[in-house]
A and B are shown apart, each in its own frame.
Chain A
């Protein structure tokens, strides 16, 4: 891969990740994550 394609790939990945973060926040995913993260995750500790 030449350096121009390499830089383009990086820019595309950067833009996609930024768009995904923005879309996730707009969709209210943070509240789902926060709610799960601030309670004891029974699945994670093996209680189901």
Chain B
């Protein structure tokens, strides 16, 4: 419950300009110089901050590496690791709500989890620099957060945008619908399989200041933590895993307080 409130507060704080949804404007103030910790499209009418993945690609589009955005992401990752995904990411919050919809649930095979590193390297780091016109490739062809938070509201309020919808929009809507369906049946599908930001935070999970600690002496190996982990991890072994979003469910259910 406490985590839900933090997720809700983070979503509202990164998207306070709600009235912009009705007038079709976007916030253009100085705070756009800063990157949000989670995945939140900078063209979302309500957004106050920049998208870190968009910022990386925007500089990459000029044939340069985006040091500023990468530095911010690494700094946030060093402090919180993937707790950002579990507590602060608006799109992560959206995915968790989707998974509450009653439906048959599936367990994601571990083999597909590294796909997010492919999206990070190819679509965020290489293609924006390599493409002739410096396109933000991940935003353009993949990002369902952009379609949901910016595409749909802006297209609803701008007639001139509706007149030029084409195959690209069709592709992006298809990706969004596929992600929504997969998030209903699999916990945080996008976060675990596709998110390039989660991939970077995952690499920093081991070093982050916010950690999940495991005390082997207190553990009675009841495996109740494993049964309750929504990400199908074994917290007694995977407490420093790149996949752990620090949601804290294992801590809550541990009868011996072996996980803190």
> B209 interface residue, CB < 8 Å from A?
yes
CB contacts (< 8 Å) of B66 on chain A: these are 24, 29, 33
A19 contacts which chain B residues (CB < 8 A)?
71
Given contacts A14-B78, A37-B42, A41-B150, contact A46 B67 (CB under 8 A): no
- Min CB distance A38 to B, Å, is 4
Q: Is the interface of B mostly helix, strand, loop or mixed?
A: helix
A36 CA to B21 CA in the complex, in Å? 19
**In the complex the two chains form, what is the Cα distance from A19 to B168 in whole Å?**
38
Given contacts A32-B59, A46-B151, 13 further A-B contacts (CB under 8 A): A13-B78, A14-B78, A20-B67, A21-B71, A21-B72, A22-B71, A24-B68, A24-B71, A36-B50, A37-B42, A37-B50, A45-B169, A47-B166
16 contacts between A and B (CB under 8 A): A13-B204, A14-B75, A20-B68, A21-B75, A23-B67, A24-B66, A24-B70, A27-B67, A29-B64, A33-B66, A36-B42, A43-B140, A45-B172, A46-B146, A47-B165, A48-B140
